[in-house]
Structure 1
Amino acid sequence: MFGGMAKAIFGSSNDRYVKSLGKIVNQIGSFEPSLEAMSDEELSGQTQRFRDRLEAGEELDDLLPEAFATVREASRRVLGQRHYDVQLIGGIVIHRGEIAEMRTGEGKTLMATLACYLNALPGTGVHVVTVNDYLARRDAEWMGQVYNFLGLTVGVIVPNLQEDQRRAAYAADITYGTNNEFGFDYLRDNMKYDREQMVHRPFNFAIVDEVDSILIDEARTPLIISGPTDDKSELYMRMDVIVKQLVPDDYEVDEKQRSIILTEDGTEKTERMLEAAGLLQGSNLYDYENTQVVHHLNQALRAIAIFKRDTDYIVKDGKVVIIDEFTGRMMDGRRWSDGLHQAVEAKEGVQIEPENQTLASITFQNYFRMYPKLSGMTGTAATEAQEFYDIYKMNVVTIPTNVPVQRIDQEDEFYKNTLDKFGAIAKAIKAQADKGQPVLVGTVSIEKSELLSDFLTKIGTKHNVLNARFHESEAHIVAQAGRAGAVTIATNMAGRGTDIQLGGNLEFRVEDELRDMPEGPERDAAIERIRAEIAVEKQQVLEAGGLFVLGTERHESRRIDNQLRGRSGRQGDPGLSRFYLCLEDDLLRIFGPDTLFAKMMNSNLADGEAIGSRWLSKAIETAQKKVEARNYEQRKQVVEYDDVMNDQRKVIYEQRNDIMDADSVDDIVVDMRAETVNAMVADSCPPNTYPEQWDVAALKARVQDVLGLEPDIDAWLNEDQVDPEMLEERIQAAADAAIAAKAAELPGDTWNRVQKSIMIQNLDHHWKEHLATLDALRAVIHLRAYAQKTPINEYKQEAFALFQRMLDAIREDVTKTLAHAEFMMSPQDMPDFPELPRMPDIFTTHIDPLTGEDDSNDIDAGYGLVTTRLAPMQYIAPADDAETLGGDPAEWEGRVSRNAPCPCGSGNKYKHCHGAL
């Protein structure tokens, strides 16, 4: 009670914080008259003056008021848009590394220019992260006018850029791009063999647009770069034979979680069969060495006992094709991951396609936490404020609107079933559209959009359907969603980032209708005609009540509902929002108090009848909070597991960079050799033992195998004062001498380059194998919970032990490779040796949590639209040409990568050109 009274009197902590920024806003305003009096040249010269002041020791905060005022004036001159005071407040919040929550239509894109400009002054780079490539290009071109006027450079990162183009874009003062592109570039950089090949600069400052979508929704799934692995078909088939000998009593199935575990008797039985097949190391299935075996066994079990033919998949033309569990459609091109698809192929006796192995991966959480300063902006972040602080240490600050919100949010309407609900929705849409009110309809899936589209088609209501896939064309449609009588159906993310202006958007109409008209009086007249039409339509829409936002059901997260509502009521415009629900909605069906809902609605509602109740709306909100909490736990678990790998990833990537940067790696190689010799001697001659207890034969064999040496160890043992340290020193000295002699045979810097190349290749090979082992370990570690152990703690312990073993293996392999290397080259070839290895063919994957599709590369090389369903893996391969493939495009199928440039030379990907399905 007292807290409520204090809030009413003094305002919330957010209100007080925003109010405290008013002093800085006043300071910014005080510079306006002097800046207005400057010429364009003087105003653009401000940038160099600011940089000089930074070099003299001033801080960015000291420059903030004058720098913000400079951007405001530049924007007024270049774009004709002057920042509102609330946008200045948002700019300060972003500069401080916080999240600015601003309602839709309040000008977040323009607001970001303030913090971008200020933080770009030191020249260390600013990244602006957007949700799709269209917005990255649009914002870079649009806001780039202000930056260019002030003397800053702007780059944009989109798919299919050449390496030198990417490097140039990252070298710019301000770089726009998508979260996927930034993340994949970071991973690819750490797979390269030379610093000069890398594109990223050191991390400095990032502003994430639609921060809730990128750092929360898309952060459910990691970015993965993978590549083809060795053929393991035989292993899958042998494991399938073993699993088919088990009976239902040997395992327990959890259908809800789609998981399976062996019983005690089943484990014993399986161990004996694996031993007989020569697949088990030792006698215990769950030893370290058998992590991969357990993983393959687990997947084979799932394939046999859980995944049913003609329910989960069908076999068509000798291939296993997944059936979507929600739509019942065949999903050609999609494959289950982690070897599950291969296990099902083995079960069905069809050809086993090779799986892909993870070469590098990172979660968005760990990628963005590498920025020393991170900030964001969105219309909806307050409901997830705790997660933003817990994961990213960013506070959410709600910025007041420039003009008070006039939108009316009506109570939800509840119906018995989906058909009743959609019938009512169609009638409501028709009624509002007929009187000239524009309607924006939000759905949770493409299927629901198509269902509603059928209803509207039957009653003759014209409409547009968007599905968050064709970003550029959808931006043009959404921009006109405020026209009189327009009906637009959109899934969750469709058209996000584009302003809906009542009466229509002048810029987009001019682009759409006058694209081919040349500059001149005729075009100017046409623009004025469109401007007049928009003014008339806007008045008509205002009289009809503004934009009507209609939700066809509640989403899992309140935040997404708020995003939809926020499209209406822009800049003080009138507006209306209402959600329609029924018992068959996923949220109510899975998470609602079903017995109470069912009794109440089935007994009291006639067909087609609706009820509205604050109590029911409150119950829905409670269900949403449950789902939000569950999803947060899932994301938190993803981070917890990736944190373990992240610590190891940092070590490996730092070692790679150290090797590439070092003038000489002799010291590192000598240390590796010393530790390898130490390990060999310690294994054969344990401390505190007598010489007669040592395994001298094993030591000789190891020295011969690893170092390629045959020292007279027997003679050394006959000397006085023999001990393991003496053996270690002599073996080390012999190895050093052999390597020194080998290095002396090669001219110049060749030996150093040999060492670098071998070290990096060994590091990459073992890191790849380590990632595969960790993937397998993570897939089965939850079984430790049955032994009353915490899976994450067990994972940390085992991952650490595996990492130590990997480092030991790297040291030994590098030592062994260098010791056995032989060089038989002609003198004229020597200076160019060795060649750096070629980057492997790779796949990039980021599964969209909302659609289940791979969204890692939505746009083709010509910025056209993707017209085929994206497969889960995007293949990046060298370009093929028609000369080597033959002139007949019909012969190219199967010989050209789907994502390679088309051999015809069009510049488009093969899959969008001659390879179009």
Structure 2
Amino acid sequence: MFGGFAKSLFGSSNDRYVKSLNPIVQKIAAFEPTLQALSDEQLAAQTAKFREQLANGAKLDDLLPEAFATVRESAIRVLGMRHFDVQMIGGIVLHRGEIAEMRTGEGKTLVATLATYLNALPGDGVHVITVNDYLAARDAEWMGQVYRFLGLTVGTIIPNLTDEQRRAAYNSDITYGTNNEFGFDYLRDNMKYERSSMVQRAFSMAIVDEVDSVLIDEARTPLIISGPTDDKSELYMSVDAIVKQLEADDYEKDEKQKSIILTESGTERIERMLEAAGLLEGANLYDFENTQVVHHVNQSLRANMMFKADTDYIVKDGKVIIIDEFTGRMMDGRRWSDGLHQAVEAKEGVTIEPENQTMASITFQNYFRMYPKLSGMTGTAATEAAEFYDIYKMNVVTIPTNVGVRRVDEEDEFYKDTTDKFRAIAKKIREHAALGQPVLVGTVSIEKSELLSEFLTQEGVDHKVLNARYHEMEAHIVAQAGRKAAVTIATNMAGRGTDIKLGGNLEFRMLDEHPDLVEGTPEYETEAARIRAEIEVEKQEVLAAGGLFVLGTERHESRRIDNQLRGRSGRQGDPGLSRFYLSLDDDLLRIFGPDTLFAKMMRNNIEDGEAIGSKWLSKAIETAQKKVEARNYDIRKQVVEYDDVMNDQRKVIYEQRADIMDADAVGDVVSDMRTETVNVIVGGACPPNSYPEQWDIAGMKAGLTEILNLDLPVDDWLTEEAIDPEIVEERVREAADAAIATKAAELEPETWTQVEKSILLQNLDHHWKEHLATLDALRQVVHLRAYAQKTPINEYKQEAFSLFQRMLDSIREDVTKTIAHAQFQMQEAPDLPELPDFITTHFDPFTGEDNSNDIDAGTLGRITTQIPPLQMMQPDAEAILGDNPEHWEGRVNRNAPCPCGSGRKYKHCHGAVTA
């Protein structure tokens, strides 16, 4: 009570902080008359002046007022847009590495130009992160006009770019792109074999648009680069057929945790069926030999019992396509990992694509924490302020609106069941549409969208449906959702990135009505003027009807998503209305809502079709949402905790790779590895404080032959009186060094260095890939240690550390062995076999969701290398294959270059013809 009184008297801490920035805003305004008097050339010359001041020791904070005023004046001249004072506050907040929470329609894109320009002045590069490729390209072109006017370079990272194009974009002063593209480029860079082939440079600053979507919603999901493994489609189909025979009491599912387990009776039943199908070794499902079968059974259970068609995925053209839970969009080309996608394919009876093995991965938390300065902007961040500070050390600052908000947010209405609720919604929509008021309806799934569409059809309401099934029409539908009496049903409106303008959108109306006209021609301008006048008339009619009416058909798990939907209405001072309709059948109430006694009372006391509204009920819903938000935060925290373990190891491996690539010579590293290997071989055969007759001479000789390729007279050494393990080690080491020196003398010094580098890098990558697969498997089972009263994360840390030590030992031994056994002949280096197509996924290990923004990795996931060949001289390919394409099938790798010399892959050239 006292806190509320104090807040009303002195303002909140946020209000006081925003107020403290006003003197800086006044300083910025003071530069305006001076800058207005400058010519375009003089204004553009400001950049060179600022850079000179930085070179002379000035700080960015010193330059801020004049630099911001320069951007404001440039935006007026280039874009015809002037930054408001509240936008200047947003720019200051971004420059300070904080999150600017600004309502929809307040011009976040324009705000970003202020901090981006200032922080690009040192020339270290600023990354502007957007949520999709369209926004990245749009903003880079749109706001790029201001940057280019001021003499800065702008690049864009989108799919299908070559490495040269990516490198040029990253070397620009300002680089726009999606979070996934930046993350995958980082992983791909650390799989390359030459520093010159890497595309990114050292990180400086990132500004994240829709920061809550990127750093919160998608942060549960690591970025993963993977390569193909063996085909197991028959096993998936066999297990799927068995799982489909299970009954409800054979398993228990927890919708809160999105998990499912077999009951005791279910385990016994599935064991009998697996045994009959010949898939079980022994009689016990959980024997070590059946680990793979258990994994397939678990994934098939999740696919059949937890994942629903038209909600989690749809089947289109014989493919299972994921639906993003946050945006409702189809994620074409994305796949769930860990065999889940294959299990869903088996369930739906479509072609099963092979699984993939992880080759590199990183979470967004650890990726973005590598930036020395990180800031962001969004319309909804305050509800997650604690998480932003805990994970990223970023404060959330709520920026006041330029014009007061006039939208009316009404209390929620509750109904007994879904049918009553949708019937009431349809009637309400008909009433508002009849008044000429546009209505935007938010649903949580395709199924609910189509159900509501049926109710509206019965009511005779003309409407459009925006969901994953009609993805191609999305931009056109959204753009016209503010027209008079328009009714638009949208599945998860969050993150769609398009402002809804009352009266309609000129650009999209021209595209729809006059697609043949070219912008800039007299005919185009004539039609544009006519439509512009129509839009203005229609806008006034919509304003008179009350503006956009946002209607939510149920509450989302996160309050932020509800706020994003509401934020579509009432932009820039427009009037608006919002209301949510709920029923006891809604997932949020059913799974996370008040206890069952309350639900029973509600069911028994509400008549069919009756609606109730209550602040107490709204509070109960908010409490349920907070529960889910807290749970999701715990999941993200857990992902971070586990990835932090891997992150320390990842840094070690990536730093070693960089050191190897940058080094002029790596002979010392290889020599140290050889010395350590000798010590291990001799030390294992000759334990300390033992007599020569107790030594394992046979084992030592076998090790020397197998690993070091040496045949030494160890038996003769035993006859010497003063022999001890140190003398043996020294002799073996000298012999090993001499053998390698002889081998190195056969090649040019530069060639030998390249050979050592390539052997080191190839072994490092091979063992790191295997280590990642082991850690993945460990993470999936380590939670079982809790039954033994042990903390899973501590167990994971200990196991991961010992596995890492073991991996380093294996790398040392394998590098030594490869160099000792390698045979080299002078020849012209043939082209390396093409690496497999890498697949990029953004997979959530807890829920199976995939939020990757990548397409087929065949075009952008391949890594080009120039490693000297380690193999012996290969026979001439043409001599073996001949020049008849009919003889190539089965003898040419599908991913190899076609022998015809076209430069294309065999599978895309003659392989496609003969297949």
Partner of 1:425: 425
Query: Structure 2 vs 1, CA of residues 54 and 262 (structure 1 numbering), >3 Å: closer, same or farther?
Result: farther
Say if 2:289 is the partner of 1:301.
Answer: no
Identity of matched residues, %:
71
**What is the CA distance between 1:262 and its match in structure 2?**
10
In structure 2, how many angstroms separate the alpha carbons of the residues matched to 1:737 and 1:203? 44
Partner of 2:356: 356
Query: Structure 2 vs 1, CA of residues 85 and 501 (structure 1 numbering), >3 Å: closer, same or farther?
Result: same
Within-5 A mapping of 1:368-407: 368-407=368-407
Say if 2:670 is the partner of 1:669.
Answer: yes
Partner of 2:735: 734
SS of match in other structure, 1:550: strand
Partner of 1:608: 609
Asked if the contact 1:31/1:69 (under 8 Å) is kept, the reply is: yes
Partner of 1:215: 215
In structure 1, how many angstroms separate the alpha carbons of the residues matched to 2:863 and 2:753? 30
**What is the CA distance between 1:325 and its match in structure 2?**
9.7
**What is the CA distance between 1:442 and its match in structure 2?**
1.0
**1:641-680 C-alpha deviation (Å, 9 max, x unpaired):** 1111111111111111111111111111111111111221
Partner of 1:764: 765
Answer with 110-119 or 444-453: which moved more. Answer: 444-453
CA RMSD across the alignment: 4.0
**1:241-277 C-alpha deviation (Å, 9 max, x unpaired):** xx99xxx9xxx976433246999x99xx99xx9xxx9
- Structure 1 unpaired stretches of 5+: 287-292, 314-321, 862-872
The counterpart of 1:840, out of the listed 836, 839, 859, is 836
In structure 1, how many angstroms separate the alpha carbons of the residues matched to 2:806 and 2:847? 39
Asked if the contact 2:211/2:376 (under 8 Å) is kept, the reply is: yes
Asked if the contact 2:160/2:859 (under 8 Å) is kept, the reply is: no
Query: Structure 2 vs 1, CA of residues 255 and 766 (structure 1 numbering), >3 Å: closer, same or farther?
Result: same
Say if 2:658 is the partner of 1:657.
Answer: yes
SS of match in other structure, 1:258: strand
Within-5 A mapping of 1:409-808: 409-467=409-467, 473-493=473-493, 496-518=496-518, 519-808=520-809
**1:363-415 C-alpha deviation (Å, 9 max, x unpaired):** 11111111111111000000001111111111111111111111111000001
In structure 2, how many angstroms separate the alpha carbons of the residues matched to 1:679 and 1:850? 41
In structure 2, how many angstroms separate the alpha carbons of the residues matched to 1:490 and 1:823? 64
**1:740-779 C-alpha deviation (Å, 9 max, x unpaired):** 1111111241111111111111111111111111111111
In structure 2, how many angstroms separate the alpha carbons of the residues matched to 1:345 and 1:509? 40
Query: Structure 2 vs 1, CA of residues 798 and 428 (structure 1 numbering), >3 Å: closer, same or farther?
Result: same
Query: Structure 2 vs 1, CA of residues 116 and 261 (structure 1 numbering), >3 Å: closer, same or farther?
Result: farther
In structure 2, how many angstroms separate the alpha carbons of the residues matched to 1:142 and 1:310? 43
Asked if the contact 2:162/2:860 (under 8 Å) is kept, the reply is: no
In structure 2, how many angstroms separate the alpha carbons of the residues matched to 1:471 and 1:349? 24
Answer with 516-525 or 790-799: which moved more. Answer: 516-525
- Structure 2 unpaired stretches of 5+: 321-334, 865-882
**What is the CA distance between 1:611 and its match in structure 2?**
0.7
Corresponding letter in the other structure for 2:717:
W
In structure 1, how many angstroms separate the alpha carbons of the residues matched to 2:167 and 2:445? 38
Query: Structure 2 vs 1, CA of residues 874 and 304 (structure 1 numbering), >3 Å: closer, same or farther?
Result: farther
Corresponding letter in the other structure for 2:260:
R
Corresponding letter in the other structure for 2:155:
G
Asked if the contact 1:766/1:810 (under 8 Å) is kept, the reply is: yes
SS of match in other structure, 2:498: coil
**What is the CA distance between 1:344 and its match in structure 2?**
11
In structure 2, how many angstroms separate the alpha carbons of the residues matched to 1:716 and 1:347? 67
SS of match in other structure, 1:441: strand
**What is the CA distance between 1:229 and its match in structure 2?**
2.5
In structure 2, how many angstroms separate the alpha carbons of the residues matched to 1:837 and 1:657? 24
Asked if the contact 2:229/2:354 (under 8 Å) is kept, the reply is: yes
Asked if the contact 2:426/2:456 (under 8 Å) is kept, the reply is: yes
Corresponding letter in the other structure for 1:856:
S
**What is the CA distance between 1:511 and its match in structure 2?**
4.8
Within-5 A mapping of 1:62-81: 62-81=62-81
SS of match in other structure, 1:69: helix
Query: Structure 2 vs 1, CA of residues 450 and 350 (structure 1 numbering), >3 Å: closer, same or farther?
Result: closer
**What is the CA distance between 1:3 and its match in structure 2?**
2.5
Corresponding letter in the other structure for 2:119:
N
Query: Structure 2 vs 1, CA of residues 850 and 99 (structure 1 numbering), >3 Å: closer, same or farther?
Result: farther
Corresponding letter in the other structure for 2:606:
L
Count how many residue pairs are aligned between Structure 1 and Structure 2: 844
Partner of 2:869: none
Query: Structure 2 vs 1, CA of residues 195 and 673 (structure 1 numbering), >3 Å: closer, same or farther?
Result: same
Asked if the contact 2:218/2:851 (under 8 Å) is kept, the reply is: no
In structure 2, how many angstroms separate the alpha carbons of the residues matched to 1:547 and 1:309? 40
Corresponding letter in the other structure for 1:301:
V
Query: Structure 2 vs 1, CA of residues 393 and 278 (structure 1 numbering), >3 Å: closer, same or farther?
Result: same
Partner of 2:852: 856
SS of match in other structure, 1:803: helix
In structure 2, how many angstroms separate the alpha carbons of the residues matched to 1:815 and 1:850? 40
Query: Structure 2 vs 1, CA of residues 546 and 5 (structure 1 numbering), >3 Å: closer, same or farther?
Result: same
SS of match in other structure, 1:749: helix
In structure 1, how many angstroms separate the alpha carbons of the residues matched to 2:82 and 2:749? 62
In structure 1, how many angstroms separate the alpha carbons of the residues matched to 2:582 and 2:712? 82
Corresponding letter in the other structure for 2:836:
P
Query: Structure 2 vs 1, CA of residues 306 and 121 (structure 1 numbering), >3 Å: closer, same or farther?
Result: closer
Q: Provide TM-score, normalisation by structure 1.
A: 0.84
In structure 1, how many angstroms separate the alpha carbons of the residues matched to 2:205 and 2:419? 50
Query: Structure 2 vs 1, CA of residues 731 and 552 (structure 1 numbering), >3 Å: closer, same or farther?
Result: same
Corresponding letter in the other structure for 1:664:
A
**1:848-881 C-alpha deviation (Å, 9 max, x unpaired):** 89997755346799xxxxxxxxxxx9996799xx
Corresponding letter in the other structure for 2:755:
V
Query: Structure 2 vs 1, CA of residues 209 and 311 (structure 1 numbering), >3 Å: closer, same or farther?
Result: closer
In structure 1, how many angstroms separate the alpha carbons of the residues matched to 2:86 and 2:423? 42
**1:255-314 C-alpha deviation (Å, 9 max, x unpaired):** 433246999x99xx99xx9xxx9999xxxx99xxxxxx95x734523545895699559x
Query: Structure 2 vs 1, CA of residues 547 and 838 (structure 1 numbering), >3 Å: closer, same or farther?
Result: same
Partner of 2:260: 258
Answer with 532-541 or 400-409: which moved more. Answer: 532-541
Within-5 A mapping of 1:192-211: 192-211=192-211
**1:100-146 C-alpha deviation (Å, 9 max, x unpaired):** 00000100000000011011111111111111111111111111111
Partner of 1:316: none
In structure 1, how many angstroms separate the alpha carbons of the residues matched to 2:184 and 2:884? 30
Asked if the contact 1:105/1:571 (under 8 Å) is kept, the reply is: yes
In structure 1, how many angstroms separate the alpha carbons of the residues matched to 2:206 and 2:311? 38
**What is the CA distance between 1:515 and its match in structure 2?**
4.5
**What is the CA distance between 1:589 and its match in structure 2?**
0.5
In structure 2, how many angstroms separate the alpha carbons of the residues matched to 1:875 and 1:194? 18
Query: Structure 2 vs 1, CA of residues 163 and 677 (structure 1 numbering), >3 Å: closer, same or farther?
Result: same
Corresponding letter in the other structure for 1:599:
K
Asked if the contact 2:484/2:541 (under 8 Å) is kept, the reply is: yes
SS of match in other structure, 1:196: helix
Asked if the contact 1:35/1:43 (under 8 Å) is kept, the reply is: yes
SS of match in other structure, 2:732: helix
**1:414-463 C-alpha deviation (Å, 9 max, x unpaired):** 01111111111111111111111111111112221222122222323222
Partner of 1:90: 90
Q: Provide TM-score, normalisation by structure 2.
A: 0.85
In structure 2, how many angstroms separate the alpha carbons of the residues matched to 1:350 and 1:507? 41
Query: Structure 2 vs 1, CA of residues 398 and 232 (structure 1 numbering), >3 Å: closer, same or farther?
Result: same
In structure 1, how many angstroms separate the alpha carbons of the residues matched to 2:375 and 2:718? 66
